[in-house]
Amino acid sequence: MPVEQTFVHATSDVSIARPRFTFDEVQAIYYLPFNDLLFRAQSVHRKNFDPNAVQLSRLLSIKTGGCAEDCGYCSQSAHAPTGLIASKLMDSESVVAEARKAKQTGATRYCMGAAWRSPKDRDMGALVAMVEGVKALGLETCMTLGMLSEQQAGRLAEAGLDYYNHNIDTSEHFYPEIITTRIFEDRLETLERVRAAGMKVCAGGILGMGETVADRISMLLTLANLPVAPESVPINHLIPVPGTKLASAKSVDPIDFIRTVALARVLMPTSHLRLSAGRTQMSDEMQALCFFAGANSIFIGDTLLTADNPDETHDDGLFRRLGIYPATVEPRG
Ligand code: SAM
Ligand code: DTB
Ligand code: SF4
């Protein structure tokens, strides 16, 4: 039976036995002739989504810079001399005011990110107020705050947080080359806590950090083989930041990038695949092929957390040329 037909829907009963993907079968899909791979990914995509709708999210950095972690790609790590000016946690009123503006530009999901290893318990009150305020605007909410304790995950879920973003970034094998202040297993543990608390999971990674194709396949395999696949999977293209360890990393071949998106679509048929960081460095044609391969979510607005993103005029033009339109809010699962 083809791999995608054996896969159980992300929101279906997790007690149903689910075949695990093996590295070899997944690698064979990755290396299909490009046209066959894209045809397969697009066929899976059409079965599960409107192929011309792309979901729009907006990001806000609610606490910038000065992070204790040493992630080799990140402008916000205190270990990297990137020149970024650190700031304190924003107050919840200002965050909600920013979210209101985002809604007016067509975003349906609002993602709030903090440069933390993990939140402090004293910050939980403000975070809860942000979730409640942004939700009251009718936006879906997402946060990415680093590692969570069971209790913190519970409080955010109770406040109504829809998604928690926590990336595994790369393969387990390559992980220590990129980050030394935590281990891959720590990430999986937080993902488990997020799931157990009843929130939807947003987990993906970065391409272009010097990893091999096998590392990329292995990262997707880890995500697809979770007890329930993440509902949202960001695929970031490294934005090389001067001062970071990866400032001069060799850029990923665009064809390899598109193959990885296609593989993610085949392995996680019902997940939203987000073409995340790095769209500024991509040609319109590369983005078009990523959409064809199954990417169906992007960040809009000219800043991500600290880095540039294409401006809205450009994205509007691209959508018009491709006949793509913004997806409306997904039904709540
Ligand atoms: N501190 C939290 C954490 O790491 O979980 C949340 C914020 S962190 C900036 C969110 C994600 O952004 C990272 O996991 C990484 O995948 C992505 N990211 C950060 N810097 C990036 C860069 N220069 N290029 C591409 N992706 C990047
Ligand atoms: C994700 O995977 N990508 C977004 C979101 N999750 C939080 C963040 C991208 C950050 C890009 C670098 C920056 O803006 O500093
Ligand atoms: Fe800190 Fe997150 Fe950046 Fe890592 S990716 S340094 S945890 S802000």
DSSP per position, 82-129: --PPP-PPPPHHHHHHHHHHHHHTT-SEEEEEE--SS--GGGHHHHHH
Catalytic residues: 67, 71, 74, 111, 142, 202, 274
| Res. 326: pLDDT tops 70 | yes
Q: Among residues 327, 262, 330, which one has the least CA distance to residue 43?
A: 262
Please say if the pLDDT value at position 18 is more than 80.
no
Calculate mean pLDDT across residues 236-246.
98
Whose CA is closest to atom 6 on ligand 3? Answer: 77
* pLDDT for 256 beyond 80: yes
The yes-or-no verdict on residue 283 having pLDDT over 80 is yes
Q: Where are the beta strands (DSSP E) in the chain?
A: 53-63, 109-114, 140-144, 163-165, 200-202, 205-207, 232-237, 272-275, 297-300, 325-326
Instruction: Could you list the beta-strand ranges (E) of 208-248.
Output: 232-237
And the tokens for 180? 């030394």
Helix axes of 23-30 and 213-224: crossing angle, nearest 10 degrees: 120
Residue 4 vs residue 89, higher pLDDT: 89
Average of per-residue pLDDT values in the chain: 93
Q: 92, 128 in Cβ contact below 8 A?
A: no
Average pLDDT estimate for 273-298: 98
| Nearest atom, ligand 3, residue 75 CA | 3
Phi, psi dihedrals of residue 207, rounded to the nearest 5°: -110, 145
Spatial distance between the Cα atoms of 264 and 44, rounded to a whole number of angstroms: 11
Helix (H) or strand (E) holding 141: strand 140-144
Q: Which residue has the tokens 């928690």?
A: 164
For residue 76 and ligand 3, the question of a CB distance below 6 A is answered with yes
What is the CA(257)–ligand 1 centre distance, in A?
18
Q: Is the CB of 77 under 6 A from ligand 3?
A: yes
pLDDT band at 3 (very low <50, low <70, confident <90, very high): very low
Range with the poorest average pLDDT among 45-54, 104-113, 134-143: 104-113
Q: How confident is the model at residue 25 (pLDDT cuts 50, 70, 90)?
A: very high
**Tens-place pLDDT, residues 176-218:** 999 999 999 999 999 999 999 999 999 999 999 999 999 999 9
Average pLDDT over residues 99-114: 91
- Distance from the CA of 300 to the center of ligand 3, in angstroms? 21
State the CB neighbour count (10 A cutoff) for residue 124. 16
- Give the separation between CA 226 and CA 183, rounded to whole angstroms: 17
Q: Which ligand is nearest to the CA of 60?
A: 2
- pLDDT score, position 23: 95
What is the percent of the chain with per-residue pLDDT over 90, rounded to a whole number?
90
- What's the CA-to-centroid distance between 115 and ligand 3, angstroms? 5
Q: What is the pLDDT of residues 55-98, one digit of tens each?
A: 999 999 999 999 999 999 999 999 999 999 999 999 999 999 99
Q: Quote the CA–CA distance of 259 and 32 in Å, as a whole number.
A: 9
